[in-house]
Amino acid sequence: LILHLLSKKRMYGMEIANEIGKRKAEVPNPGTLYPTLKEMERKGLVESVKEGNTRFYKITAAGREGLEKAKEFFVQAYGDIVLESM
């Protein structure tokens, strides 16, 4: 979900948390979100830049590739379920 959100625009941490909250009905704990973002950055999926007191995150080329692979996997794994429910 984080990569999907960042594929649309760069975002700061609480903005990401609030968008997740809109979709999941629960805002993630900063103690979970920020370590996840740091790990994603370590893996090269996202990068961050600090502007003033705010750190913005954006998806990298590797992150976009990972997102596309995840989408393909989802369609392969669950496509029949989606089609059956239509």
Contact 48, 37 (CB under 8 A): yes
Whole-angstrom CA distances from 10 to 7, 17, 50, 77, 79 are 8, 13, 12, 29, 29
Q: Maximum Cα–Cα distance for the chain, whole Å?
A: 49
Residue 50 burial by Cβ neighbours in a 10 Å radius (0-12, 13-18, 19+): exposed
Q: Which CATH class is domain 2-84?
A: mainly alpha
Q: Report pLDDT digits (tens) over 36-73.
A: 999 999 999 999 999 999 999 999 999 999 999 988 88
Domain residue spans of the chain: 2-84
Q: Report pLDDT digits (tens) over 3-49.
A: 999 999 999 999 999 999 999 889 999 999 999 999 999 999 999 99
- Look at residue 86 and tell me whether its pLDDT is greater than 50: no
CA distance 55 to 40: 14
pTM of the model: 0.83
